[in-house]
A and B are shown apart, each in its own frame.
Chain A
Amino acid sequence: MKMAFHTLFGALAASTMLTCAAQAEDTKVGVLQSLSGTMAISEVTVKNAELMAIDEINAAGGVMGNKIVPVVEDGASDPAIFAQKATKLITDDKVATVFGGWTSASRKAMLPVFERTKNLLWYPVQFEGNECSPNIMYSGAQPNQQIVPSYDWAKAKGYKKMFLVGSDYVFPRTANLILKKHIAKDGLTMAGEEYVPLGGTDFSAVIAKIQAAKPEIIMSTLNGDSNVSFFKQLAAAGLTSEKLPVMSFSIGEQEAKAMGTELVKDSFAGWNYFQSLPGEANAKFVKDYQAKFGADAAITDPMVHGYLDVYAWKAAVEKAGSFDPDKVRAAAVGLKFPSPMGDVEFAANQSLVQPALVGKLKADGQFEIVWQSEGAIQPDPYDPVAFPGKSCKLH
């Protein structure tokens, strides 16, 4: 008993001292991803990549001499919880900035929180554009950096009859709106358009309609583990990738691995990064991540964007000489910084300048890069075909 008391007292004293010593030069940042619910399949590893960047930065001396302390919160795949947790991070934990979000529904829910508190969110996932907030740094692809180039590639490959399948929320609805405008403009055929609620598992009717419409390619904006059900039921209905290819905008190496690669082999995906991307910076990132999280850990595009967001923030803070979100976002524009994708920078509309890629999934769960854009594409939140005349000027 006496021993136990001493140990307890010692531990208490030690932890108190630790907090006191650390308080002077700690900077808190928020890491807000879904660690549970339907989106956990994708978001847990984005959190890992963001934390890895923070660890690396701390090991190299922190940001302007300050140690970075991450406060991790679970958005639980629920937009309302994302908004709550963002409020908690900013007002209670007083974080300097937040890295996080995946679904556009979660970003839309957090946006008013960040605008009200004048904080800054670093958003790592490709999305539907059509948004322009000074309090968000959009590192994921705009439509003209992923969806439209992938569509153009499919069109060039001779696929003329397209079927659009998506989860029922803002990203797939808007992405498909853009695709439909392009399909109409280019004189291709819309075979059909179907939505299933996020997390939905029954695709029987959707597949029956696909079979009736006989498209040449499916453009899928399904998110989360609905994809497992979709591909399982496609395979059960005899629709293999050779008969009917699927172009997905939310399936990366990790989702493919979790689903079982034989299920999704030979299907296509549009991204800005693949684990198979050549280059020294990427090789180092993959090696470091796998050393930390297991040799067979898969690396995906949003993980890399989550990771490079932390470095972008560090570079911008150091350029601005301040943690103030307004100064940081001003400093981030046009600032080149190294990343696993090579040197990248944010444009004046606070979106990342980056190339587009199309990959074909191989049996080992890696993508073979079958097409890439000529150089980096300037981000444009407003697709000129779908939203003519709108533009985003933030700086």
Chain B
Amino acid sequence: MMDLPLLVGQVFNGFSVASLFILATLGLALSFGLMRVINMAHGEMLMLGGYLAYLTFLLVPGPLAILIALPVAFLGAAALGAVLEVTVIHRLASRPLDTLLATWGVSLILQQAARSIFGAIGVSVTAPGWLNHTISIATGPLAGLTLPATRIFIMVVAVAVLLALGLFITKSRIGLLVRAVNQDRMMAAASGIDVRRVDLVVFSLGTGIAGLAGVVLALLGPVTPSVGQSYIVPAFLVVVLGGLGSMVGTTVAALILGMVSALSQIFLDVSTSQVLVLLFVIVFLQFRPQGVIAVRSRALED
């Protein structure tokens, strides 16, 4: 059972699962770190991204549809995120439990809307030809190993998003403001930073990234009204494990969970491996309740 191609293949799959987790989770981590808002409708941003990809593929068929779908889904999900922030989250910002309930309600509304518009039956996106390749190794110790191009594409998207986000936070002016608000919201506001605008930018950025996750998800499986629901629980696990609100922590936690899940599946079936992942998170938090990276932030202290 433990042969080398399978092991290497599962490490590869672990990275691919982790990439999906990263894309699905970054937005949650960003908005929680900054605004202490738990957005239950985050999964539906994935769903929206998936449906936008589906529509893009319908309108502009061809090999480059996927590259058009990425910005379309990002902008669409970011726009919906902005609307959600202005109409719901901003108004309930001081009451975290209420935002939890309100965004859950939004999540149900969005799912039902998708069901009414696109039908309860999932839609499907066909990967373009250039993504339909498989890199397979025929000789040597890794003979039999295959690496699907779609999974490599997902990793590329995740790495690109991480790099772009890192640059944005560390180099740009608004990134500086984000860090300031993240450290101390009151002081940042007192020194003249438009905290409202920072909230809005960060929240829609986070939902936009979830939209990207929806596009790559559509390459692997069907887009259904409830597709976001199957990713929201692992996403929360990643956020908690990573240390609430830390981007580096989120990335590391996504990698850990992706690997634990993929490597344990060499020996266990998928259901048992999910149990193992949950146990792992529980045990890990017993020893390190603050998560992988502890964020020192006034916003999280009270």
Let me know if B132 and A41 touch, CB within 8 A. no
Check A229/B222 contact, CB under 8 A, given A195-B269, A236-B148. Answer: yes
Q: What 0/1 pattern do residues 172 to 208 of A give for CB contact below 8 A with B?
A: 0000000000000000000000111101111011101
Of B97-105, B115-123, B159-167, B282-290, the one with at least 4 CB within 8 A of chain A: B115-123
Which residue of the partner chain B has the closest CB to A192? B1
Most chain A Cβ neighbours within 10 Å, of B1, B136, B148, B219: B148
Q: CB of A7 within 8 A of chain B? A: no
Let me know if A202 and B220 touch, CB within 8 A. yes
Which residue of the partner chain B has the closest CB to A166? B269
Q: CB of A334 within 8 A of chain B? A: no
Q: CB of B262 within 8 A of chain A? A: yes
Q: CB of A44 within 8 A of chain B? A: yes
Most chain A Cβ neighbours within 10 Å, of B17, B134, B226: B226
- Complex CA distance for A225 and B144, rounded to whole angstroms: 28
Let me know if B121 and A40 touch, CB within 8 A. yes
List, in ascending order, chain A residues with CB within 8 A of B220's CB: 201-202, 229, 232-233
- Complex CA distance for A200 and B221, rounded to whole angstroms: 9
- Complex CA distance for A238 and B9, rounded to whole angstroms: 14
Which residue of the partner chain B has the closest CB to A42? B121
Let me know if A205 and B266 touch, CB within 8 A. yes
Residues 37 to 65 of chain A near chain B (Cβ within 8 Å): 37-38, 40-41, 44
| Size of the chain B interface, CB-CB below 8 angstroms | 44
Q: CB of B195 within 8 A of chain A? A: no
Jot down 5 A-B pairs with beta carbons below 8 A, ordered by A.
A40-B120, A201-B227, A229-B222, A233-B221, A259-B222
**Residue A206 contacts which of B17, B120, B144, B270 (CB distance < 8 angstroms)?**
B270
Let me know if A236 and B151 touch, CB within 8 A. yes
- Complex CA distance for A212 and B136, rounded to whole angstroms: 13
Let me know if A202 and B124 touch, CB within 8 A. no
List, in ascending order, chain B residues with CB within 8 A of A237's CB: 134, 146, 148
Q: What 0/1 pattern do residues 115 to 159 of B give for CB contact below 8 A with A?
A: 100001110101100001010100000001110111100000000
**Residue A205 contacts which of B132, B150, B226, B262 (CB distance < 8 angstroms)?**
B262
Q: What 0/1 pattern do residues 274 to 286 of B give for CB contact below 8 A with A?
A: 1000000000000
Q: CB of A235 within 8 A of chain B? A: yes
Let me know if A38 and B10 touch, CB within 8 A. no
Known: A204-B17, A211-B145. 17 other contacts (CB 8 A): A44-B120, A44-B121, A201-B221, A201-B222, A201-B227, A205-B262, A208-B10, A209-B265, A211-B9, A212-B6, A212-B144, A225-B121, A228-B122, A238-B136, A259-B124, A260-B124, A260-B126
List, in ascending order, chain A residues with CB within 8 A of B16's CB: 204
Q: CB of A322 within 8 A of chain B? A: no
List, in ascending order, chain B residues with CB within 8 A of A196's CB: 269-271
Residues 128 to 142 of chain A near chain B (Cβ within 8 Å): none
- Complex CA distance for A21 and B133, rounded to whole angstroms: 65
Chain A proximity of B269: nearest CB distance (Å): 5
Which residue of the partner chain B has the closest CB to A208? B9
Q: CB of A35 within 8 A of chain B? A: yes
List, in ascending order, chain B residues with CB within 8 A of A44's CB: 120-121
Most chain A Cβ neighbours within 10 Å, of B6, B121, B136, B217: B121
Q: CB of A84 within 8 A of chain B? A: no
- Complex CA distance for A353 and B6, rounded to whole angstroms: 45
Q: CB of B13 within 8 A of chain A? A: yes
Let me know if A205 and B270 touch, CB within 8 A. yes
**Residue A204 contacts which of B3, B122, B262 (CB distance < 8 angstroms)?**
B262
Q: CB of A14 within 8 A of chain B? A: no
List, in ascending order, chain B residues with CB within 8 A of A229's CB: 220-222
Chain A proximity of B90: nearest CB distance (Å): 31
Chain B proximity of A165: nearest CB distance (Å): 10
Most chain B Cβ neighbours within 10 Å, of A205, A209, A228, A233: A205
Which residue of the partner chain A has the closest CB to B8? A208
Chain B proximity of A2: nearest CB distance (Å): 35
Q: CB of B224 within 8 A of chain A? A: yes
List, in ascending order, chain A residues with CB within 8 A of B10's CB: 204-205, 208
Q: CB of B96 within 8 A of chain A? A: no
Let me know if A36 and B269 touch, CB within 8 A. no
Let me know if B271 and A236 touch, CB within 8 A. no
- Complex CA distance for A232 and B144, rounded to whole angstroms: 19
Q: CB of A152 within 8 A of chain B? A: no
Chain A proximity of B95: nearest CB distance (Å): 31
Which residue of the partner chain B has the closest CB to A199? B230
**Residue B121 contacts which of A41, A194, A197, A236 (CB distance < 8 angstroms)?**
A41
Chain A proximity of B74: nearest CB distance (Å): 21
Chain B proximity of A33: nearest CB distance (Å): 11
List, in ascending order, chain B residues with CB within 8 A of A226's CB: 221
List, in ascending order, chain B residues with CB within 8 A of A209's CB: 6, 265-266
List, in ascending order, chain A residues with CB within 8 A of B265's CB: 205-206, 209
- Complex CA distance for A62 and B62, rounded to whole angstroms: 53
Q: CB of B5 within 8 A of chain A? A: yes
- Complex CA distance for A36 and B113, rounded to whole angstroms: 12
- Complex CA distance for A369 and B229, rounded to whole angstroms: 39
